[in-house]
C-alpha cells in the first residue's frame, strides 16, 4: 500500500498497540460513545484491513449530505488527537517525559515564587536524571538550582554550592560529549558494515575507525551508555573482520553489561533485542547451538515497551529460530515455526512489517523440507526485490540457487536457458567466484548427460572442486549462506538433503564432546 498523505491517519492508527488504543479511548472519554464522529472514525479505521476512504466516510456520516472539507477536517483533528494521546501515554511510561514534566512543574512553581517546592522537585528530578544518565536533563536541573537560589537571594547557599554545581556541570558536559562521540562512532561503523555487506573489510574505512582512541580501552567510556556503545562498536569490528571468536566474546560482554542495569533495560529494550540477536549469530558461527537456544528463550521473555519492540522481538526471534532449524537440518520444525510466524505476522500492519528480509529463509526451509514449488515461489519473490547496495551479492547467490532448484525439479529445458542468462548476469556484475563457475559447469554437464553414471562423475568432480575451496577466504562468506556441500552429498548418496544436514550436525556435536 503506497504511503500517501490521505492514508497517514490509517497507518498511525494501525501502528498502535492494544494498550495504546485502550489509552486513547480513556484519553478522549469516548468508550462506548457512538455519537462521537472522531471516535466512530477511529473504530472504523481500526477495523479496516485495507484503507478504503469511501467506505470510512459512509460508515461515519451515512447518507447525510456533507462537504468533503468537513471530512478532511475530521481526519486532521483525529490525527492530532491520537498524537496527543500518545504524548500523554509516553508521559506516564517514559523517564524522559517524567523528568520533562518535573522541570515544567518547576518552571510553573518558580513563576509563582514557590521556591521550596521547586527545590524538592529538582532533587527528585536530579536523582532520576543521574540514575538514568539523562545528561541533558541533569544540566537543566543544575541550571534551575542556580536560578532558584538567585531568585531567593540565597547568597550563602549559592556561595557554598556554586563551585560544586560548576564541577557537576563540567562532569555532566564531559559525559554528554563522550556519549555523543561513541554514538557517532557506532553510526559510522554501522553504515560501513551495511554498505559493504558480505564483502571483506576494504582496508580503508573500518581499520581507520578501529584505530580511534576511544576504542582502545573500555575505560575511555565515561558512562554505562557509552560502555554499551563501546562493546557494540567492538563487536561490529570483530564481525566485519570475520573474527568470530572476538565477535562472540564482545557480544557476550555486551549482553552481561546490559543485564547488569535492569533499570535501564526496563526503560529501553530496543538495543538489547539487537544485542541478543547478534549474540545468537556469534553462537552460530562458533557452533554453540545451546547458546542460540538460550537466546531464543530470552527473546521470548523480553517485555516490549513499544510496537517497534514487538516487531523487533518477532523478527529477531524467528530469524534466529529459522537459522537454527536450517543448521541442524530440522526442517519439519522449521515448517512449524514458519507457519506460526506467518500467523503472528497477520497481527502486524503490512507497512510496519516487511517479510522480504525472510524470503531467503522461507526458501531454505521449504527446500530442506523437499517442497520445491514453495521454495521456488519465495526464491522468485527474493529475485524480484529492488536492487540496493546491500543486495548486490545476494542477487548473485539467488541466481545460483535458482539453477539448483530447477535442476531438482527436472526443468532441464528451462535450465538450459537459465544457465546462459545467469552466466551473463554474473559476468556483467562482477568477477565470477570459483564455486559459481564449478556449479555452472556441473549443471551444463548434467543437463547434457545421457546416463546417470555421467552425472555421478560430474558430481564427484564438483565435490572435489568444493573441497579445494574450503580454505578460500574470498569465497567463504557466500559459501556459508547455503550448504552446497550437503546438497552435493545428497545427490551423490541419493539421500534427502535434510538427512545429510542432520548427520553433519550430529557429527559436529560428537566432535565437540570429544
The pLDDT, as a whole number, for residue 389 is 41
Is residue 72 within 8 Å of residue 53, measured between CB atoms? Answer: no
Residue 388 CA: distances (Å) to CA of 196, 382, 395, 433: 11, 13, 10, 20
Report the alpha-carbon distance of residue 188 to residue 196 in Å, rounded.
12
Percent of the chain, pLDDT > 70? 91
Per-residue model confidence as pLDDT tens digits over 144-194: 999 999 998 888 888 888 999 999 999 999 999 999 999 999 999 888 877
Flag whether pLDDT at 23 surpasses 70.
yes
The pLDDT, as a whole number, for residue 357 is 80
- Compute the average pLDDT of residues 230-237: 94
Flag whether pLDDT at 282 surpasses 90.
yes
Number of residues assigned to the chain: 514
Helix 359-368 × helix 392-408 angle, to 10° = 20
The pLDDT, as a whole number, for residue 208 is 64
The full set of domain ranges for the chain reads 5-93, 388-482
End-to-end CA distance of the chain: 55
Percent of the chain, pLDDT > 90? 59
The pLDDT, as a whole number, for residue 19 is 85
Is residue 75 within 8 Å of residue 39, measured between CB atoms? Answer: no
The pLDDT, as a whole number, for residue 346 is 84
Would you give the distance in Å from CA 67 to the centre of its chain?
44
Report the alpha-carbon distance of residue 392 to residue 197 in Å, rounded.
9
Band of the pLDDT at 65, cuts 50, 70, 90?
A: low
The pLDDT, as a whole number, for residue 390 is 45
Band of the pLDDT at 475, cuts 50, 70, 90?
A: confident
Band of the pLDDT at 407, cuts 50, 70, 90?
A: very high
Per-residue model confidence as pLDDT tens digits over 438-472: 999 999 999 888 788 999 999 999 999 999 887 77
Average pLDDT, the chain: 88
Per-residue model confidence as pLDDT tens digits over 321-346: 999 999 999 999 999 999 999 999 88
Q: Which of 28-37, 105-114, 220-229 has the lowest mean pLDDT?
A: 28-37
Give the dihedral of Cα atoms 257, 262, 263, 265; nearest 10 deg. Answer: 80
Is residue 186 within 8 Å of residue 210, measured between CB atoms? Answer: no
Band of the pLDDT at 6, cuts 50, 70, 90?
A: low
The pLDDT, as a whole number, for residue 392 is 60
Closest to 233 measured CA to CA, from 197, 283, 286, 179 = 179
Q: Which three cell numbers stand for residue 325?
A: 532449524
Is residue 407 within 8 Å of residue 444, measured between CB atoms? Answer: no
Flag whether pLDDT at 408 surpasses 50.
yes
Flag whether pLDDT at 409 surpasses 80.
yes
Flag whether pLDDT at 351 surpasses 70.
no
Flag whether pLDDT at 199 surpasses 50.
no
Flag whether pLDDT at 354 surpasses 80.
no
Q: What are phi and psi of 62, to 5 degrees?
A: 65, -140
User: In the chain, what is the greatest distance between 2 CA atoms, to the nearest angstrom?
Assistant: 102
Residue 478 CA: distances (Å) to CA of 82, 100, 167, 271, 364: 47, 49, 54, 28, 15
The pLDDT, as a whole number, for residue 125 is 97
The pLDDT, as a whole number, for residue 207 is 56
Q: Which of 60-74, 115-129, 226-240, 335-349 has the lowest mean pLDDT?
A: 60-74
Band of the pLDDT at 355, cuts 50, 70, 90?
A: confident
- Count the neighbouring beta carbons within 10 Å of the beta carbon of residue 276: 26
The pLDDT, as a whole number, for residue 274 is 94
Band of the pLDDT at 257, cuts 50, 70, 90?
A: very high
The pLDDT, as a whole number, for residue 160 is 84
Report the alpha-carbon distance of residue 111 to residue 39 in Å, rounded.
38
Helix (H) or strand (E) holding 301: helix 289-301
Q: Which residue has the cell 517479510?
A: 355
Amino acid at each position: 500500500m503506497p504511503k500517501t498523505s490521505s492514508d497517514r491517519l490509517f497507518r498511525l492508527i494501525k501502528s498502535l498497540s492494544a494498550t495504546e488504543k485502550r489509552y486513547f479511548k480513556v484519553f478522549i472519554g469516548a468508550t462506548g460513545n457512538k455519537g462521537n464522529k472522531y471516535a466512530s472514525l477511529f473504530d472504523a479505521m481500526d477495523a479496516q484491513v485495507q484503507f478504503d476512504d469511501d467506505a470510512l466516510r459512509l460508515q461515519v456520516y451515512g447518507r447525510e449530505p456533507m462537504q468533503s472539507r468537513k471530512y478532511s477536517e475530521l481526519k486532521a483533528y483525529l490525527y492530532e488527537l491520537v498524537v496527543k494521546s500518545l504524548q500523554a501515554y509516553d508521559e506516564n511510561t517514559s523517564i524522559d517525559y517524567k523528568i520533562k514534566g518535573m522541570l515544567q512543574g518547576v518552571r510553573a512553581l518558580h513563576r509563582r515564587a514557590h521556591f521550596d517546592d521547586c527545590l524538592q522537585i529538582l532533587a527528585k528530578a536530579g536523582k532520576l536524571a543521574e540514575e538514568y544518565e539523562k545528561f541533558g536533563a541533569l544540566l537543566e536541573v543544575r541550571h534551575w538550582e542556580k536560578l532558584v537560589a538567585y531568585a531567593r537571594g540565597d547568597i550563602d547557599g549559592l556561595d557554598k554550592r556554586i563551585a560544586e554545581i560548576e564541577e557537576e556541570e563540567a562532569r555532566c558536559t564531559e559525559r554528554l560529549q563522550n556519549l555523543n562521540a561513541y554514538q557517532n562512532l557506532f553510526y559510522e561503523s554501522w553504515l560501513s558494515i551495511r554498505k559493504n555487506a558480505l564483502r571483506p573489510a576494504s582496508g580503508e574505512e573500518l581499520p581507520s575507525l578501529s584505530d580511534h582512541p576511544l576504542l582502545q580501552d573500555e575505560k575511555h567510556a565515561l558512562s554505562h551508555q557509552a560502555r554499551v556503545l563501546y562493546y557494540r562498536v567492538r563487536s561490529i569490528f570483530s564481525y566485519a573482520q570475520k573474527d568470530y571468536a572476538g565477535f562472540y566474546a564482545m557480544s557476550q560482554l555486551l549482553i552481561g553489561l546490559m543485564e547488569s542495569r535492569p533499570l535501564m533495560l526496563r526503560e529501553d529494550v530496543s538495543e538489547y533485542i539487537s544485542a541478543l540477536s547478534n549474540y545468537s549469530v556469534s553462537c552460530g558461527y562458533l557452533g554453540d547451538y545451546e547458546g542460540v537456544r538460550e537466546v531464543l528463550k530470552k527473546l521470548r521473555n523480553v517485555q516490549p515497551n513499544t510496537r517497534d519492540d514487538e516487531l523487533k522481538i518477532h523478527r529477531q526471534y524467528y530469524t534466529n529460530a529459522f537459522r537454527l532449524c536450517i543448521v541442524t537440518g530440522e526442517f519439519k520444525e522449521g515448517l512449524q515455526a514458519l507457519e506460526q510466524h506467518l500467523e503472528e505476522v497477520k497481527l502486524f500492519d503490512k507497512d510496519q512489517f516487511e517479510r522480504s528480509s525472510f524470503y531467503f529463509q522461507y526458501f531454505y526451509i521449504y527446500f530442506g523440507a523437499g517442497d520445491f514449488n514453495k521454495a521456488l515461489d519465495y526464491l522468485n519473490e527474493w529475485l524480484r526485490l529492488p536492487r540496493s547496495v546491500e543486495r548486490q551479492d545476494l542477487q548473485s547467490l539467488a541466481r545460483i540457487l535458482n539453477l539448483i532448484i530447477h535442476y531438482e525439479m527436472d526443468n532441464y529445458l528451462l535450465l538450459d536457458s537459465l544457465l546462459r542468462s545467469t552466466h551473463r548476469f554474473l559476468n556483467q556484475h562482477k568477477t565470477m567466484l570459483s564455486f559459481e563457475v564449478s556449479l555452472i559447469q556441473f549443471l551444463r554437464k548434467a543437463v547434457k548427460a545421457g546416463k546417470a553414471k555421467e552425472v555421478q562423475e560430474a558430481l564427484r568432480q564438483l565435490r572435489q572442486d568444493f573441497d579445494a575451496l574450503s580454505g578460500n577466504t574470498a569465497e567463504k562468506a557466500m559459501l556459508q549462506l547455503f550448504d552446497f556441500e550437503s546438497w552435493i552429498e545428497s545427490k551423490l548418496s541419493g539421500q534427502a538433503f535434510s538427512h545429510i544436514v542432520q548427520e553433519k550436525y550430529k557429527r559436529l556435536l560428537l566432535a565437540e564432546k570429544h
